[in-house]
Structure 1
Amino acid sequence: MSALIVYIDGYNLFHGLRAKYKDDRYQWLDITALAASLRRHEKLVSVKYYTAPLQGSSDAVQRQQTYLSALRAVSGETLTVYEARYQSKTVTCRCGRQWRTYEEKETDVHLAVDLVADVATKAATSAVIISGDSDLCPAVRRAREFSEEVRIVAAFPPKRISSELQQLLPGSLVIGRGRIKDAQLPDTVHDPATGAVFHRPSKWRPNGNRSQIPHRRGTADSNCAHPASR
């Protein structure tokens, strides 16, 4: 039986879900259950989740920390979370307004390096990449140089299809609503190792506050939206 490792670009998945469903009702996602549903005939040996810790003390930071703790509680040793970093930068609108924002760095690089290393060492004989980032194409090509037998496929998050990965890989699919709904964590997650309890954030509930994606139109001045106002 093939040894399957699933590599998840957390940033790509999060924003794909938000872009598709216009809110965060499906962000309380059991990524290990989702990974297992993608190739049921293979032995899932590891799920690798790549993200970056948010900065500051906002509610978003707390939601991320709660989510990662819940994932670790339900997934045990199957899941490994790799945290990259955010780099601050100043954004200037044409209207002259400025604000500081953060840009995710190194997540795709970590995923690419692990994919190549796992195939080279035969830790993975089968791989699924949950991402629509075409920057991963060189890593796929390099991994194939180490093993002609390895089967690498893509599972694209909603609204995150990469035509480059589709052309390169022998198979791909788009993760549909059914898989996502079936792989939600319970509203309350108990950590059997520590006794800690984690609750689904209210904003991530089906009837919670919806983080609508603004539909921007008009002049440069009307388009200027400081991230803190979203």
Structure 2
Amino acid sequence: MPASAKSPRKTAVYVDGYNLYYGRLRGTSYKWLDLVRLFDAMLAQRDQNESLAMVRFFTAPALANFASHGKASVEAQSAYHRALKASYPDRFDLVYGTHAYDKSGTLLPCFVAGLPYDRTNRTRVWKLEEKKTDVNLALHMYRDVCKRTVSRVILVSNDSDAEPALVAIREDFPDIMIGLVVPIRPSISGGPVYRRTSGSLAKFSDWIAPSLSDDQLLQAQLPPIVPTRKKPIQKPVHW
């Protein structure tokens, strides 16, 4: 059978939402990102007879008290998630974790320029932590591979916490191809290097996209108004 006649290789994408936002989208005009369109285009460009079966997005609900725009940030995140689910009911999966923080504040050492670390000089701060995202991502990726629902996986993260999931897949399912998309800005020749690819993730990946360009993000935006069976969803004004 010629290669062109073979069934497309089903591919699933696993997105660390926190890492994507803070690594690439924060401070840009590309937050209204159509993840399914982005990876459809990426697989088409790779031209490896791959079909995008699912994008799984792992994040936690925004908290108004800690968000830059308060309640508007919560509403914007909700609108974005609903827009993706409405656009791709069969190819977009949203998996929520939680946020945790100590209401009495977390006691941490103070940084004083020019002085060595002093564990006795401490102050209370608000420390917000995202919980369950790493575990949810790892479990879903591994379970999808175990079920053989996909033959290729793509991780979108630069967080080395995802390394154990890649190690397990590499050891238990060596036939599964692993791709890594690093959600950072491309380095400009002669300019600053924003972040480097996690070596521990790269080590267990078959191929790597070391950044996401402005053009890739621009070409993969949701429409300003996303139709639904009920009220249309509008792109947040401050996005």
TM-score exceeds 0.5: yes
Q: Do residues 64 (structure 1) and 77 (structure 2) align?
A: yes
- For residues 101 and 63 of structure 1, the distance between their equivalents in structure 2, rounded to whole angstroms, comes to 23
Any gaps of 5 or more consecutive residues in structure 2? 1-7, 65-69, 112-121, 185-193
Tell me what 1:147 maps to.
Answer: 173
- For residues 18 and 144 of structure 1, the distance between their equivalents in structure 2, rounded to whole angstroms, comes to 30
Pairing 1:111-190 to 2, within 5 Å after superposition:
111-158=137-184, 159=194, 161-173=197-209, 174-190=211-227
- Structure 2 length as normaliser, TM-score? 0.77
**Number of aligned positions between the proteins:** 199
| Contact 1:6–1:46 (8 Å) recurs in 2 | yes
| Contact 2:178–2:204 (8 Å) recurs in 1 | no
AA at the equivalent of 2:72: D
1:82–1:187 distance in 2 versus 1, CA, 3 Å: same
- For residues 117 and 87 of structure 1, the distance between their equivalents in structure 2, rounded to whole angstroms, comes to 26
Q: Do residues 12 (structure 1) and 19 (structure 2) align?
A: yes
- For residues 28 and 99 of structure 1, the distance between their equivalents in structure 2, rounded to whole angstroms, comes to 32
What is the SS of the residue equivalent to 1:168?
coil
1:18–1:97 distance in 2 versus 1, CA, 3 Å: farther
**What's the Cα RMSD here?**
2.0
Q: Any idea what the Cα deviations from partners look like across 1:175-194, whole Å, max 9, x if unmatched? A: 22221111011111111xx2
Any gaps of 5 or more consecutive residues in structure 1? 205-230
Greater RCO, CA 8 A, separation 6+: 1
Shift of 1:92: 5.3
AA at the equivalent of 1:63: A
User: 4+ residue runs of structure 1 moved beyond 6 angstroms?
Assistant: none
Tell me what 1:226 maps to.
Answer: none
AA at the equivalent of 2:133: T
Shift of 1:128: 0.7
Shift of 1:103: 1.2
Pairing 1:1-230 to 2, within 5 Å after superposition:
1-18=8-25, 23-40=27-44, 41-56=49-64, 58-89=71-102, 90-91=105-106, 94=110, 98-158=124-184, 159=194, 161-173=197-209, 174-191=211-228, 194-204=229-239
AA at the equivalent of 2:95: Y
Q: Which of the two has greater helix per residue?
A: 1
Shift of 1:99: 4.7
Q: Any idea what the Cα deviations from partners look like across 1:94-119, whole Å, max 9, x if unmatched? A: 39774534211110111111111111
Based on CA coordinates, which of the two structures has the bigger radius of gyration? 2
| Contact 2:151–2:177 (8 Å) recurs in 1 | yes
Tell me what 2:189 maps to.
Answer: none
Task: Give % identity.
Answer: 28
Shift of 1:37: 1.9
Q: Any idea what the Cα deviations from partners look like across 1:124-157, whole Å, max 9, x if unmatched? A: 1001111111111111111123322110010110
- For residues 25 and 203 of structure 1, the distance between their equivalents in structure 2, rounded to whole angstroms, comes to 9
